[in-house]
Amino acid sequence: MCSRSAWHPTPGAELKTLAGSRMTAEGELVILARRYRTQEANRADARARLNALIDQALIQPERRIKTRPSKAAKAKRIDSKKARSAVKAGRGRVRPSE
């Protein structure tokens, strides 16, 4: 059985992806907080948003289960392709019958 890290990036890489342009080249995360009038409230808001970003980076997505089309679905697809091909083949130039 393969480990989870084989199909999901590390939380640090996920955080870097989620941060986007807020992450500097040195790896520092810049969060601007100017919503409130007081510095304490803005710092608390910035910390809350940082915690939310970290929590989101720690969530691992559900593993995708591979599925294959059924025989009936394949046959239906081929039939529709043949019908479309016949329609397009009938659009050629009309040749005079001799």
Average pLDDT, the chain: 86
Percent of the chain at pLDDT > 90 equals 47
* Residue 3: band (very low, low, confident or very high) from pLDDT cuts 50, 70, 90: very low
pLDDT digits (tens, 9 = 90+) for 26-58: 888 899 999 999 999 999 999 999 999 989 988
* The residue type at 1: M
Go through the chain and tell me how many residues it has.
98
pLDDT digits (tens, 9 = 90+) for 6-30: 556 687 788 888 888 888 888 888 9
* The residue type at 83: A
**Contact residues for 23 (Cβ-Cβ < 8 A; gap 6+):** 16, 29, 30
**Token pair of 53, please?**
């970003």
Entry pTM = 0.55
Question: What average pLDDT does range 69-86 have in this prediction?
Answer: 96
